Amino acid sequence: MADEDRLLIDRCLQGHVEAFGELVRRYQDRLYNALFRFLGNPEDARDVAQEAFLSAFRNLKKFRGRSQFFTWLYRIALNHALDLKRRVKTSRALPEAEDSPHPNELQDRSVSATPDWHLQRREEDERLQQALAKLSNEYRLVLILRDLDELSYEEIAKVLDIPIGTVRSRLHRARMELRRLLQEMEKDSANSTYLPELQR
Amino acid sequence: MTEADKQLLTGYIDGVLSPTEKQRAELLLRTSAEARQLFSDLVSDSLRLKYLRREQLPTDFADRIVAMVREEVARLAQRQLWRLRIRRWAPVAVAAALLPFIAWATFVLVSQILTRPDSPSVALPSQPHPQQQDFDEPGPTAPDVNQIAKHGWAKLEQNVRTAWQQSIRAGESLRQLLPRSVEPFNELARAAWNELEPLVLGDWNPAVPDIGNPTVLTSPLRDTDRQLFRSLEFSLPPIFSWQNFGQSEVQQLLGSNRFLVLDVSCRDGRHTWERVQAALRTQKIPALLDSRLKKFWDHRQNTVYFVYVENLSRAQAEDWLLALHREDTRSAGKSSSEAQIRSILVQPVDAEVRQRLAELLGLPIGLLPEATRSPSAASDTALTEDTLRKLEQLAAGQPIRSASAQAVAFCPLRYPPSKEIQKFRQQRGQLRADAYHLVLIFRPER
């Protein structure tokens, strides 16, 4: 575990609540993004991130430091996210986000950030998010942890509480499934684009 | 392509293959166009996921979490205190509830004793009256009422005495039991206070004033003439008496290091700051005063505080220290013994000092100056260069002011960073390796 995290946790346990604020600032966006991609809804992701941080504070005494603080936090957050999914029972994908730009969207001010580039990127993001939403929870989680958060196989195994071999096989199946979905979507999109031309 | 081959490719993307597997994957990629296509698609998917647009939470998200946590801690502490109060008074309430019961039980007991017809104490085998025996017919003897009453009263008295003694004994054991039963709750109260203390008193870090070696600073030696120190054989950190402070002392002080931690013993914190500020003004060095420190002063708390001045040229540092001496002694009038500052002690700049300073300013330690020795010969050159620069600026009609030198005064409170400290962090220029940086720790008299 990072020394800075340990110091902050120690200070929290001594009663300095602001030190916990530092921990939140450190991991809030990373956690939120993973949750957003997993749940597919910004409000749910924000609520779950909030719940996860509060639960982490309540259970900070139980944190032994065997794993990284973020891995531990991630585990708590995923439990909350899965609880929410179980409660809602319906997977809400992203449609709302498609229509209106997200208020917190990062603005790219680089030279390449032309409107076309933005549009193209948004479309790709949305297609990918839709494909992610179609995956099962197991596959989606393992892909988010590996590719979005760049966790190692060992860390993923700790977060999901599964053996490393299972991580490897699950990741393979998830990648193949995502590929299949994306291919289907690309095919559909190509059909819908060229259909009017063919009709003409 | 088999499923095993495909799995080999996903493992190859993540770099988790053994050397043999890696060779097999590379061979597959060389020989199969289908494998190459799949590999390319998988890498592309992985990269698309990696560079998926990142969302951000509102900037006050962390503050809201902290506020919620604070509320929760306060609520828990409140609940704990109430529970504690209830438990503390519970034995008293139980005792109070028991008292009427005991009284009622005593009453029932006494009334039973008095009213029981076949009670042995009432139906005593009385002796027949001699006269009655002579004149009356033999028959059942009538009980002697006086004797019965007397006996009853004696019995009652005895019972009451026994009950009284028992209640005294019960009270005694209750008295012994109470402190023992209350002790755990006192511990709970202490624990609750430990939780509440930072909320009530703020996030005061008492370790901060211990920067360096505070025992030296409060020693009676501070008013002693520095000549005495020169005659001492053992090594002490350099200390300068304010009375004899002048050009040669400044040269000596700045000659040791470019980054200096000066421990300043002074009378009143606020008045000293006014003079420090006046001296900074003469050098056109912008200075920020932490509003929390001002609050301390408004509440007449003479706290220890820090003044951090960075990116000073040698000439600026010299001029400022001399200006500070001039301001202080001039404000004090003719008697220089009335000056606010008493002495300056040079602290060693070690890792701990830098760490504390970084914590207080909320800066990464790498953005703070390091202790580097002043070049002995370069001082004159630096002075000349600085003077030349000033002359050039004057000739060009420009105001003489430092490009990046600035100062901030703050108290040793880490959280939350005051707006002045945040402003200082935003405004500070790039740290110059050839510049002088001073941390002054002002320790007012208590």
pLDDT in tens, B257-315: 889 999 888 888 899 999 999 999 888 888 999 888 888 888 777 788 999 998 888 88
In A, which residues are within 8 Å of B10 by CB distance? 171-172, 175-176
Interface test with A, best of B13, B18, B56 (most A CBs within 10 A): B56
* Residue B107's pLDDT band (cuts 50, 70, 90): confident
Tokens 């005792």: give the residue: B95
CATH 1.20.1530.20 fits A1-92, yes or no: no
In A, which residues are within 8 Å of B418 by CB distance? none
Q: Which residue ranges does chain A devote to CATH 1.10.1740.10?
A: 1-92
If we measure between CA atoms, which residue out of B401, B388, B387, B384 comes closest to residue B282?
B401
Q: Which of B10, B61, B66 sits opposite A18 (nearest CB)?
A: B66
User: Please, which residues have CB within 8 angstroms of residue A97's CB and are 6 or more apart in sequence?
Assistant: A42, A126, A129
SS3 A152: coil
Q: Where are the beta strands (DSSP E) in B224-378?
A: 239-241, 259-266, 287-289, 305-312, 341-347
**Residues on chain B bordering chain A, Cβ-to-Cβ distance under 8 angstroms:** 6-7, 10-11, 13-14, 16, 38, 41-42, 45-46, 48-50, 52-58, 61-66, 68-70, 72-73, 194-195, 197-199, 203, 414-416
Q: What is residue A31's predicted lDDT score, i.e. its pLDDT?
A: 92
Q: Which of A21, A124, A143 sits opposite B65 (nearest CB)?
A: A21
Those residues of chain A that have pLDDT short of 70 are: 1-2, 89-121, 190-200
Let me know the angle formed at the C-alpha of A55 by A49 and A59, rounded to the nearest 5 degrees: 145
Q: Which residue of A has its CA nearest to B194?
A: A15
Q: Which pLDDT tens digit goes with each residue over B338-368? A: 788 888 888 878 887 888 888 788 777 778 8
If we measure between CA atoms, which residue out of B262, B260, B288, B276 comes closest to residue B361?
B288
In A, which residues are within 8 Å of B50 by CB distance? 147-148, 150
In B, which residues are within 8 Å of A175 by CB distance? 10, 13, 42, 45-46
* Residue B393's pLDDT band (cuts 50, 70, 90): low
Q: What is residue B438's predicted lDDT score, i.e. its pLDDT?
A: 93
Between A112-121, B75-84, B413-422, the lowest mean confidence (pLDDT) is in A112-121
User: Please, which residues have CB within 8 angstroms of residue B405's CB and are 6 or more apart in sequence?
Assistant: B283, B285, B309, B310, B311, B312, B313, B316, B435
Q: What is residue B322's predicted lDDT score, i.e. its pLDDT?
A: 92
Task: Check: CB of residue B397 under 8 Å from CB of residue B278.
Answer: no
Q: For A112-200, CATH number?
A: 1.10.10.10
Q: Across residues B193-200, what is the average pLDDT?
A: 61
If we measure between CA atoms, which residue out of B231, B237, B335, B341 comes closest to residue B279?
B341
Angle between helix A115-134 and helix A164-199 axes, rounded to 10 deg: 120
DSSP assignment of B79-144, as one string? HHHHHHHHHHHHHHHHHHHHHHHHHHHHHHHHHHHHH-TT-TTTS--PPPPHHHHHHSPS-PPPP-
Q: Which residue ranges does chain A devote to CATH 1.10.10.10?
A: 112-200
The pLDDT > 70 percentage for chain B reads 74
In which element (H, E) is residue B332 found?
none
Task: Check: CB of residue B282 under 8 Å from CB of residue B323.
Answer: yes
Q: What is residue A173's predicted lDDT score, i.e. its pLDDT?
A: 94
In B, which residues are within 8 Å of A32 by CB distance? 55-57
What are residue B328's phi and psi, to 5 degrees?
A: -65, -45
Q: What is residue B306's predicted lDDT score, i.e. its pLDDT?
A: 93
Write down the mean pLDDT value for chain B.
76
Distance in Å, alpha carbon of B72 to nearest chain A alpha carbon:
9
B138 pLDDT more than 90: no
Q: Which residue has the higher pLDDT, B212 or B424?
A: B424
Q: Which of B45, B50, B54 sits opposite A179 (nearest CB)?
A: B45
B114 pLDDT more than 90: no
Q: Which residue of A has its CA nearest to B362?
A: A22
Q: Tell me the C-alpha distance between B165 and A115, whole Å.
A: 96
Write down the mean pLDDT value for chain A.
79
If we measure between CA atoms, which residue out of A174, A74, A80, A192 comes closest to residue A131?
A174
Is the bond leading into B58 cis (omega within 30 degrees of zero)?
A: no
* Residue B237's pLDDT band (cuts 50, 70, 90): low
Q: What is residue B282's predicted lDDT score, i.e. its pLDDT?
A: 86
Q: Which of A36, A54, A168 sits opposite B69 (nearest CB)?
A: A54
Task: Provide the 10 A C-beta neighbour count for residue B217.
Answer: 21
Distance in Å, alpha carbon of B32 to nearest chain A alpha carbon:
18
CB contact under 8 A, A17 and B50: no
Q: Which of B46, B53, B73 sits opposite A147 (nearest CB)?
A: B46
Q: What is residue B166's predicted lDDT score, i.e. its pLDDT?
A: 87
Q: Which amino acid is at B25?
A: A
Residue B367: DSSP 8-state: G
Q: Which of A16, A146, A148 sits opposite B198 (nearest CB)?
A: A16
Q: Which of A36, A58, A148 sits opposite B49 (nearest CB)?
A: A148
Task: Check: CB of residue B272 under 8 Å from CB of residue B390.
Answer: no
Interface test with B, best of A9, A13, A17, A55 (most B CBs within 10 A): A17
* Residue B82's pLDDT band (cuts 50, 70, 90): confident
Task: Check: CB of residue B435 under 8 Å from CB of residue B309.
Answer: no
Q: Which pLDDT tens digit goes with each residue over B19-32? A: 899 889 888 888 88
In B, which residues are within 8 Å of A171 by CB distance? 10, 14
Q: Which residue of A has its CA nearest to B204?
A: A16
Distance in Å, alpha carbon of B202 to nearest chain A alpha carbon:
9
If we measure between CA atoms, which residue out of B14, B43, B53, B54 comes closest to residue A127?
B53
Q: Which residue has the higher pLDDT, B403 or B246?
A: B246
* Residue B143's pLDDT band (cuts 50, 70, 90): low
CA-only gyration radius of chain A, Å: 19
CB contact under 8 A, B52 and A125: yes
pTM above 0.80, yes or no: no
